[in-house]
Amino acid sequence: MTTLLARLVTIFTFLFSGQVFAENGYEEMVNSIFGQFNGVYAQFLFWPVPVLGLPLILFVMVSGGIYFTFRYGFLNLTMYRHAIDVVKGHYDHPDHEGDITHFQALTSALSATVGLGNIAGVAVAISVGGPGAVFWLWIVAFFGMCMKFSSCTFAQLYRVKDSKGGMLGGPMVYLNEGLKERGHPKLGKFLGGFFAVMTIMASFGGGNLFQANQTYEIIKMQFPGANALVVGITLAFLAGIVLLGGIKRIGAVTSKLVPIMCAFYVVSCLAIIFSNYEMVPDMITQIFVQAFSPLAAFGGFLAVMIQGVRRASFSNEAGLGSAAIAHSAAKTDEPVREGLVAMIGPTIDTHLVCTMTALAILITGANLDPQFTNSDGLVGVKMTALAFSSLGSWMPYALTVAIAVFAYSTVISWSYYGERATEYLFGDKLGGNAIRLYKFAYVFIIILGPLLSVENVVEFADLMLLSMAFPNILGMMYMSKVVKEKADDYIVRFKSGQMKKYIS
């Protein structure tokens, strides 16, 4: 422990003495510190459950998805059309308490999930499990919809006002308050605090450092002379402008940015598909046949799920509770209504965007190229770029733009998650400067991202992200009766015609 602390002190000395740019020594030290932690912590997180062989974290996430889907009576099917109407604004009312609209809450949450996991992660999944992996991604997303419904309904039920009058919600709040109501205040405080700490750490790593680093890598692929520092400072400046405005500014930006970038990316993928339309029937057949073959079902299913957790091919983050932080700020007087909006996320993120990526890769045969012999995330980006190049040499450049926009939207949305977690932990402590310090650190790390190549830091970020699922899923299972009763009441009132539309 003494040695570890000494190394941390040395790192901060490097940072503030300008030696951060001496990459070799700095990267070695960072890799050493995080490598030691990752080696120990990963053994717990990925401990194989006896008989099933599934890593512990996957067992919790899969069990949670199945449990909530049956617990809430397949709301992801029966109430989906109503959820679309809510997103369209049919039930919006300006006097409802909250900071942003239903649509802005959805796009803010999507902007944190639609990103490199859809572009690189899907390619990795296919390289590990073959075409059959796509089927299992669909299944995981389907069951994940009710987990998102649950967490975002809880977030609305237990949201509170922060020290500045804004909305504060998410797993850290509802775990604390919900368990306190049930006579477990100490457990609630511990789980809420644990979740908040993991959220902050995940925001620095997966939501920030990884995005900035991979943005530079894809730019460098097309423009070898790109300067890492210039890319980092540019991304930090653009993110900083939005960060200063809080969730209202983030919601305003993402409500315009997310639909545009999703439309651009999907249209590009569809162009690839339509230009190779004669291959589509055989490709669809491969997805379903190989999904149930012994090779795909085990070598693919389990391997894809493991890789999905480690490399973010679980692109929709269902069960982690991160989206609930954004959805807690939505204007509504019906918590269940916002939960229904949230469950649309996996449909857009996985069933739409990830599927388009998969189809583009499979019909062009990019996954069969001999250069892709491992499952590294950057290889996934290259595989997708190869698929895009089938339409012309200029298409990889278009993909570079899409990736940069995806990464940018992820960076600004994850800053909000980390900010809310910081507010929960510190509030008015530190002279009210906690959030200001967090934002400063966040922007600084954006600049560092393109300068460093620290695999262990990225792995650390993945571990922190996945750690959010433990307290969230287990806590929601214990408290699910609350949401079940609210959902049943909402459905009765909706079907009886009691729901009033404010906008037709």
Which residues, at least 6 apart from 442, have a Cβ–Cβ distance to it below 8 Å?
203, 204, 208, 243, 415, 418
Q: Average pLDDT in the 288-295 region?
A: 69
Question: CA 104, 107, 108 angle in degrees (round to 5)?
Answer: 80
Which pLDDT tens digit goes with each residue over 413-460? Answer: 788 889 889 988 887 776 568 888 898 899 888 888 787 765 666 677
pLDDT level of residue 319 (50, 70, 90 thresholds): confident
pTM of the model: 0.82
Q: Where are the domains of the chain?
A: 94-485
Query: What is the pLDDT, as a whole number, of residue 167?
Result: 74
The CB-side HSE value for 185 (13 A sphere, CA atoms) comes to 0
84/103 Cα distance (integer angstroms) = 10
| Higher-scoring residue by pLDDT: 174, 237 | 174
pLDDT at 223: 86
Containing 161, the helix (H) or strand (E) segment is strand 160-161
Highest-scoring range by mean pLDDT, 105-109, 240-244, 304-308, 438-442: 438-442
* Model pLDDT for residues 246-260, shown as the tens digit of each residue: 656 666 666 676 677
pLDDT tens digits for 122-160?
877 777 777 777 887 888 888 889 999 999 999 999 988
Residue 163: the pLDDT is: 65
3-state secondary structure of 375: coil
More confident position, 67 or 254: 67
Judged by average pLDDT, the poorest of 162-171, 266-275, 331-340 is 162-171
CB contact at 8 A, 452 and 232: no
Q: What is the overall mean pLDDT for the chain?
A: 78
Question: Percentages helix, strand, coil for the chain, rounded to the nearest 5?
Answer: 80, 0, 20
pLDDT: which is higher, 2 or 365: 365
Q: Alpha-carbon torsion 284, 287, 290, 291, what sign?
A: negative
User: Domain 94-485 in CATH: superfamily?
Assistant: Amino acid/polyamine transporter I (1.20.1740.10)
Compute the Cα dihedral for 127, 449, 454, 193 and give only its sign. negative
Q: Which pLDDT belongs to residue 34? A: 65
Report the alpha-carbon angle 407-264-288, nearest 5: 90
Each residue's pLDDT tens digit, 366-413: 888 777 655 454 566 778 888 888 878 777 787 788 778 878 878 887
Greater confidence (117 vs 335) lies with 335
Predicted local distance difference test score (pLDDT) of residue 42: 81
**What interhelical angle do 171-181 and 469-495 show, nearest 10?**
80
When comparing pLDDT for 29 and 106, which is higher? 106
CA 107, distance to chain mean position in Å, is 12
Write down the pLDDT at residue 479.
94
DSSP 46-106: TPBPTTT--BHHHHHHHHHHHHHHHHTTSHHHHTHHHHHHHHTTTT--TTSSSSB-HHHHH
pLDDT digits (tens, 9 = 90+) for 31-65: 666 677 777 888 888 788 887 777 888 788 888 98
